[in-house]
Amino acid sequence: MIELMKAEDLEQVLEIENASFSNPWSRKYFLNEIENADLSELYVDIIDGQVVSYGDLWYMFENCDLTKIAVRPSMRHKGYGRKMLKHLISTARNRGCEFMHLEVNVNNKDALALYEAYEFETVRTRKRYYENGDDAYDMIKGLIQETQPRKVLAIESSCDETACAIIDEDLNVFSSVVTSQIDVHARFGGVIPEVASRMHVEQISTIIKEAVEKAHLSMDDIDAIAYTIGPGLIGSLHVGAIGAKSLAFFYNKPLIGVHHLKGHIFINELIKPLQYPMMALVVSGGHTELVYIENDQSFKIIGTTLDDAIGEAYDKVARVMKEAYPGGPVIDKLAKSGQAHYQLPTPKVDGLNFSFSGLKNAVLQLVKKEEAAGNEINKSDLAYAFQEVALNTLVKKTKTALEQYPCKSLVLAGGVAANSRLRELMNENFSDMDLILPPLKYCTDNALMIACAALHYLKAEKFVSLDASSMPSMSIED
Q: Which residues bind Zn ion (CB under 5 A)?
A: 284, 445
- Is position 235 an interface residue for ligand KG4 (rule: CB under 6 A)? no
Pick the binder of ligand KG4 from 81, 327, 347, 438 (CB under 6 A).
327
Pick the binder of ligand KG4 from 314, 386, 430, 442 (CB under 6 A).
314
Q: Which of 173, 154, 165 is nearest to 87 (CA)?
A: 173
Pick the binder of ligand KG4 from 286, 303, 338, 347 (CB under 6 A).
286
DSSP state of 364: H
One-letter amino acid of 463: F
One-letter amino acid of 362: A
CB of 332 to ligand KG4, least distance (A): 4
Separation of CA 151 from chain center: 19
H/E stretch holding 333: helix 327-336
H/E stretch holding 92: helix 80-94
Pick the binder of ligand KG4 from 303, 311, 338, 347 (CB under 6 A).
311
Residue 394 CB: number of other CB atoms within 10 A?
Answer: 23
Q: Are β-strands 50-60 and 40-47 bridged in parallel, bridged antiparallel, or unpaired?
A: antiparallel
Residue 439 CB: number of other CB atoms within 10 A?
Answer: 15
Pick the binder of ligand KG4 from 33, 41, 332, 434 (CB under 6 A).
332
- Is position 315 an interface residue for ligand KG4 (rule: CB under 6 A)? yes
Kindly compute the dihedral angle of the four CA atoms of residues 167, 172, 177, 178, in this order, to the nearest 10 degrees. Answer: 90
Q: 332 touches which of Zn ion, ligand KG4, none (CB within 5 to 8 A by kind)? A: ligand KG4
61: Cβ contacts below 8 Å, ≥ 6 apart: none
Question: Considering beta carbons, is residue 53 or 444 the nearer one to ligand KG4?
Answer: 444
Binding mask 188-227 for ligand KG4 (x = CB under 6 A): ----------------------------------------
| Alpha carbon distance 474, 472 (integer Å) | 6
CB of 193 to ligand KG4, least distance (A): 13
For ligand KG4, the binding residues in 389-448 under the rule CB under 6 A are 414-416, 418-419, 444-445
Choose the binding region for ligand KG4 from 11-19, 126-134, 142-150, 281-289 (rule: CB under 6 A).
281-289
H/E stretch holding 55: strand 50-60
- Residues at the contact surface with ligand KG4, assessed by CB under 6 A: 159, 260, 284-286, 311, 314-315, 326-329, 332, 414-416, 418-419, 444-445
